[in-house]
Structure 1
Amino acid sequence: MIKINQIKLPVTHSDEALKKKIIKMLKLNAKTGFTYRILKKSLDARKKPELFYTYSVAVEIEDTKNSEEAIVKRAASSSVLIYKEKEYRIPAHGNIPLDRRPVIAGAGPAGLFCAYILAEAGFRPIVIERGSRVEKRTCDVQKFWESGILNPKSNVQFGEGGAGTFSDGKLNTSVKDPSGRNRLVLETFVRFGADPSILYDNKPHIGTDVLSEVIVNMRGFLVDKGVTFVFDTCVNNLDIVSKKLLSVYTDSDSNNNSEIKTDVCVLALGHSARDTFDMLYNKGFDMECKSFAVGFRVEHPQRMIDESQYGIQKKIILPPSPYKVTSNFPNGRGVYSFCMCPGGYVVNSSSTENHTVVNGMSYHDRNSKNANSAIIVSVSPKDFGADDALAGVRYQEKLETENYKRGNGLIPQQLFGDFCDDRLTTAYGDFDSCTKGNTVFAKLNGLMNADMEQSFKLGMEHFGHLIHGFDRKDAILSGMETRTSSPLRIKRDESFESNISGVYPCGEGAGYAGGITSAAIDGIKVAEAIIKKYRPDFK
């Protein structure tokens, strides 16, 4: 195939215009047959209000008279080159016989993709998920948003699909992976029902409504491949002798302390599995606390963001615009946007009684009136007041319990101008909040320490210079976003094993990922490590 980079066309272009551009750049005869596939598509808004799409495409030429090399040479452009797509391949089995099925703790992206690769290699893993299957989980979450009645075992954080199920479903990642794992993740989502555009959009997303359907379809496939799913069941203990795993114990409403004998357990935990972190810490796992970030969800009118990012457009229909902002200050604090949701909702994402935490979510169409993003401030172990592995967890819990008190269980909100003046908000400004879960006006001042709070204010002011109106006085703050990433890391060696033989820390909760795609990729890597070491030898 031939790859063409930097094909630039107005956003209003037709498919025919793209074909003509390919013909021109390859200097093809108009009668030469070819097919093409979009590899990457991004929006260029640097010269707004003139907007362009920039493409990379892979082209298959039907011309048998000229080789691809000859066509590339004739094109004489650095944007035209020979292209060979990296095809993902599952590694060969290792030599050690595995006569007991592997167990995966967690059915988030890391756990599901680890199960996917292991199943394709014939290992038939058992997936233990503390929350409910996505159909029941969706009902539990909706009930919580409407009534405030929390199910601690099935909620926005816990359940099939992980915390990302009730999010924007963003799939872009900074992970550079030449092995083809990134492409495999996207192709797998498409295979089970996602829009094919995620294969080439520069900032792909699925949306919580579509992602739920994809997960159900993926589960059905895995069951047909011999994977066993056990929902509403928590891994609550491990039998370890001489630093080697012998069994996994689980706890559910119907069966307490059920034993599963196994030699391999993948800890594909979410970053909210605090009771599991406690158990692992007490079992002697090598763990460390790490830096993360906390802050507030900030809402703006989506129209304001669109006009800032696109310029004023009267006739062109464009998708709701995302943004990404970041600042660094002399005090060493980083302030930046996280999990930005165009046309989204602020959601109550609590998973523990008497704790309140928020996140952002959007549906596939991103059709709410507001944009929201977490504007977060970096925190490090020195802010926790301790440096043991669970210090960050305790810090999160402290913020979330105080946040709960501020809102009495509801999402506490304050306008940015009132936050700066340390004043209680009594009414919204020129726009209302878009939330899933009930809200109440409350003061958010003092949740973060003075240094962090000042950094947040300075960050908002700086972002106002980048996006006009970002620091408007009626921007809506919702408290608090505390679970941006895991507050700890469960250490592992180059073979992906922990200091306990047979136990593989994996994904976001273990401290090795920061989103749906990166967690899925890490799940694939762990599966590969298991496949390279073992061969399935069970009935």
Structure 2
Amino acid sequence: MIRINQLKLPIDHTREDLAHKISKELKIPEHNIKKIQIVKQSVDARKKDHILYIYTVDVSADKENQIIKKLKNPQISSAPLNKYCLPEYGSQTLAFPPVIIGDGPAGLFCGLILAREGYCPIILERGEAADVRRKKAEAFWMGEKLDLNSNVQFGEGGAGTFSDGKLNTLVKDPVQRNRKVLELLVEFGADPSVLYVNKPHIGTDVLGNIVSSMRQEIIRLGGEVRFSSQVTDFHIEKGRLTALEINGAEQLNLEAAVLAIGHSARDTFEVLEKRGVPMEQKSFAVGLRIQHPQTMIDISQYGPGNSKILGPASYKVTYQSRGGRGVYSFCMCPGGYVINASSEEGRLAVNGMSYHARDGKNANSAIIVTVTPEDFEGTGPLAGVAFQRKLEAAAFSYGKGKIPIQLYGDFQANKESREFGDIAPEFKGAYTFSNLKEMLPPYIGEAFIEGMEDFGRKIQSFNRKDAILAGVESRTSSPVRIPRNEFYESQIKGLFPCGEGAGYAGGITSAAMDGLRIAEEICRRYRPLK
């Protein structure tokens, strides 16, 4: 096929316009074009009165090599042929099926690949199925008691199930794992456009159905998915993992375990530390969620009226504070909600969530500030966990169990808010006015304000006084890393740290890609069970 880069068209173009443009670029009649495959679609919004789609497309036509040679255009070449492939099976024999601890993106995609290759994996998930945990989360938001094992953080699909379902990643991908992840998501129900749009998303409502369908496929192929099955201990003999304890009672013997716990599995981190599994402190970021009217973001990013074609706009802003800390937006949710994402009693954390339609009134994102081990109290591997817990306990206290909120102008003035401005709040979970500036460490609050003022120069009115803040956003990434060698194995033999909780991913797509990476290593070592 022929690949064409930098193909530019107006945002209101038709499929016929695209074919005509390709015909013009290749200098061939349209009837000679056999197939058009969109590889990438992005938006050039630098000129608000002339916004363009920019495409990369692969085109099938007669005499492709002759066309490329004749044109001598650096933007036109042969389409690359590289495709995702699994390695040849290894020679070792497994006495037990591989076990995957955690059913988030890393564990789920690892399990799906292994199931399709005949390894009959067992996935252990402390939470419940996606539809059940959704009901639990909604009940919690309405005031019922928090379920410590089935909530926004724990359960089928992981924390990403309650998010915007964003699929973009900055991970370099020479072996096409990213493409494979997207193809699998489409296979199980995602819109095919996620294969090529620049910033694809699924939406929390659709994502739950997709992960459930993937689970059913794993089971159909001979795998197991066990819910309400928390790993409570690790049996290690002579430096090798030999068995897992489940729910404090059952023992499951094994030879290979994929440690795909999420970034909030703090009690599991504690067990790992107790059993001598090497872990390290890791930098991460904390901050607050901010809400703006979605129409304000749309006009700033696209100009008036264009969001009707392009959909709700997103943004990404970054700043380096005078003190050297990074301040940046994270997990931006167009047309979304700020949600109570707590998973521990007496502690409160927030996150953002959008449905597929992204039709909420507000845009929200986390504005977060980097923290490093130098900010933590203590030197142990779980000092970052303690740092998070301290902030979350303060958030719970300041909000009296509800989400503590404050207007940005009052945050600057260091006083509790009393009433909303022109922005109507969009929350999942009860909320109350408080003083978030007082709640945060001074160095975080000062860097936050610096960043906000800079962002106000990049996006008009971003630093408006009535922007609604909510805290605390503390679960941006794992506070620990569980080291692994070049074969993705811990110092403890048979244990394969994987995904976001182990410190090797930062979002749905990168976690799923890491799950594929571990599945490849298991295939490389062992024969399938059937």
TM-score (norm 1): 0.97
Distance 1:316 1:261 in 2: 56
**1:296 pairs with 2:296:** no
1:99/1:536 contact within 8 Å kept: no
> Secondary structure in 2 aligned to 1:323?
coil
One-letter amino acid of the counterpart of residue 337, structure 1: S
| Aligned AA (1:6) | Q
The equivalent of 1:162 in structure 2 is 158
Q: Classify 1:421/1:179 alpha carbon distance in 2 versus 1 (closer, same or farther; 3 Å).
A: same
Are 2:372 and 1:380 aligned? yes
Who is 1:4 aligned against? 4
Q: Which amino acid counterpart does residue 354 of structure 1 have in structure 2? A: G
Match of 1:439? 431
Q: Does 1:518 align with 2:514?
A: no
1:94 counterpart (90, 104, 123): 90
Per-residue Cα deviation, 1:5-39 (whole angstroms, up to 9, x for no partner): 11101111111111000000011024324210100
Q: Deviations over 1:317-343 (max 9, x none)?
A: 330000000001231100000000000
Matches of 1:120 and 1:75, distance apart in 2? 44
Contact 2:298–2:307, Cα closer than 8 Å, also in 1: no
Q: Name the CA distance, whole Å, in 1 between partners of 2:246 and 2:336.
A: 37
For the residues of structure 1 that align with 2:82 and 2:138, how far apart are their CA atoms?
42
Does residue 409 (structure 1) correspond to residue 401 (structure 2)? The answer is yes
- Render the CA deviation track for 1:70-96: whole Å, top value 9, x for unaligned: 111222211110013322111111111
Matches within 5 A, 1:54-69: 54-61=54-61, 63=62, 67-69=63-65
Change (3 A) 1:471 1:206: same
Q: Does the aligned pair in 1 maintain the 2:307–2:313 contact within 8 Å? A: no
| Aligned with residue 528 of structure 2, among 524, 531, 536 | 536
1:76 is aligned to 2:68: no
Amino acid at match of 1:279: V
- 1:99-498 to structure 2, matched below 5 A, reads 99-251=95-247, 256-313=248-305, 316-498=308-490
Matched length: 530
Partner of 2:17: 17
Measured after TM superposition, the shift of residue 315 of structure 1 is: 9.1
1:471-525 deviations in Å (ceiling 9; x for gaps): 0000000010000000000111000000100000000000000000000000110
Change (3 A) 1:30 1:353: closer
Distance (Å, rounded) in 2 between the aligned partners of 1:286 and 1:33: 57
Provide the rounded CA distance (Å) in 1 between the counterparts of 2:227 and 2:278.
28
- 1:347-374 per-position Cα deviation (integer Å, ceiling 9, x unaligned): 0000111110000000001000100000
Contact 1:148 1:437 in 2 (8 A): no
Contact 2:11/2:309 (8 A) holds in 1: no
SS at match of 2:437: coil
- Asked if the contact 2:339/2:351 (under 8 Å) is kept, the reply is yes
SS in 2 for 1:159: coil
Distance 1:350 1:316, change over 3 A: closer
Shift of 1:233: 1.1
Deviations 1:358-403 (A, max 9, x none): 0000000100010000000000011112221000000000000110
Contact 2:97–2:254 (CA under 8 A) maintained in structure 1:
yes
Work out whether residues 27 and 74 of structure 1, in 8 Å CA contact, stay in contact via their aligned partners in 2.
no
Unaligned stretches of 5+ residues in structure 1: none
Identity value in percent: 51
When normalised by structure 2's length, the TM-score is: 0.98
Q: How far apart, CA to CA, are the structure 1 residues paired with 2:308 and 2:232?
A: 54
2:353 aligned partner, one-letter code = M
**Equivalence for 1:31:** 31
Q: Secondary structure at the match of 2:21?
A: helix
Q: In the alignment, residue 9 of structure 2 is paired with which amino acid?
A: L
SS of the equivalent of 1:46 reads coil
Give the distance between the partners of 1:534 and 1:368, measured in 2 at CA: 48
- Compute the RMSD of aligned alpha carbons: 1.1
Change over 3 Å in CA distance of 1:77–1:399 after alignment to 2: same
Q: Is the 8 A contact 1:170 1:516 kept in 2?
A: yes
Tell me the SS of whatever aligns to 2:219.
Answer: helix
